[in-house]
Structure 1
């Protein structure tokens, strides 16, 4: 089940708004509606995916998805290509802009749990490298601990280094952490 926006509604906008007033549609964000009988799902992810099809879960939110951190994200971290405007949202969403040339590196898609709405998700390797690259945002300790957990699960340092060599400001701090952890 995908979110519905008034522009994309098969029915007229007025019918959608009447359905909302009658309780058939539930407004989860400005201009984003779900059927009232929809199963439980993450509304922040639904809103991000409905507003930007290229929205990709990143940083601490992606680490939490892979169970590589004990941190509880206070907002959903979502990346979009640099140059795109971050949409206004009502949910707890933190928008990040990543370079458009490397945006798709390590990017996959998942279905939002309880819906048929897809959203982008970076691989665990790309997420760890991004956390080192943006360590001033997420904290060096978070990146280091995620790397330690990932290595403990059988991850290969070469996989991290191959991605880090393609992203700016990531290779040196990652190499230092790998030397300490090895």
Structure 2
């Protein structure tokens, strides 16, 4: 099997990706010893010859591969808040566990039930890496749902900024709210802000 070199624009590789590129477990071990790779958990390696920009969401996704960027981190990504989070909010299924977390970026784990985890997920690719994030409407619904943890002022700011957007999809917002059993509170927030 022909071994394919690691890309300089991909920061993280899973063991499966390395095997698909022709690297044996022995070769992966040698690359780790030689300082080409750094193991960050059971399934993922950091490519130490990476030349791209640092991205907190891609770093978080490497440590929490089944996670989805959520709440205020997603709101910041979509430009719905001026709040600068000092942690990356990431949701995982409440039955899952995370074995290793980095010292940077700091990650805050939210445990979602399966119906909330599987709704409104989109994947963003940058260079050779990617991360999963809830779409904008799902983000707004989640923030309203978790308003007591996030703060009423922050929740109102996110919803006001969402309503100013030309690409908003109120029907999708209501669909998510109904699916996630928080339609009445979403409706109340919308009525207060629109009136």
- Give TM-score scaled by structure 1 length: 0.82
* 1:67 alignment partner in structure 2: 79
* 1:175 alignment partner in structure 2: 187
* 1:99 alignment partner in structure 2: 113
- Give TM-score scaled by structure 2 length: 0.77
- Whole-Å separation in 2 of the counterparts to 1:56 and 1:103: 8
* 2:29 alignment partner in structure 1: 14
How has the CA–CA distance of structure 1 residues 32 and 138 changed in structure 2, closer, same or farther, with 3 Å as cutoff?
farther
- Whole-Å separation in 1 of the counterparts to 2:115 and 2:173: 19
Unpaired runs of 5+ residues, structure 2, are 1-9
* 1:142 alignment partner in structure 2: 154
Q: Does 1:131 align with 2:143?
A: yes
CA contact (8 A) 1:29 1:47 kept: no
* 1:46 alignment partner in structure 2: 58
Instruction: Count the aligned residue pairs.
Output: 174
* 1:4 alignment partner in structure 2: 13
- Whole-Å separation in 2 of the counterparts to 1:106 and 1:18: 41
- Whole-Å separation in 1 of the counterparts to 2:50 and 2:139: 34
**From 172, 175, 192, the counterpart of 1:162:** 175
CA contact (8 A) 1:49 1:117 kept: no
Query: What is the CA-CA distance between 1:7 and the residue it aligns to?
Result: 8.0
- Whole-Å separation in 2 of the counterparts to 1:107 and 1:16: 34
Query: What is the CA-CA distance between 1:80 and the residue it aligns to?
Result: 1.2
CA contact (8 A) 1:32 1:47 kept: no
CA contact (8 A) 1:110 1:119 kept: yes
- Whole-Å separation in 1 of the counterparts to 2:65 and 2:15: 16
Q: For each residue in 1:6-53, what CA deviation from the matched residue of structure 2 results, as whole angstroms up to 9, or x when unmatched?
A: 686525343123221xxx44x4945632232421221x4334323443
Q: For each residue in 1:81-120, what CA deviation from the matched residue of structure 2 results, as whole angstroms up to 9, or x when unmatched?
A: 1200123211311111111133221111111x3x312211
- SS of residue in 1 equivalent to 2:119: coil
How has the CA–CA distance of structure 1 residues 175 and 17 changed in structure 2, closer, same or farther, with 3 Å as cutoff?
same
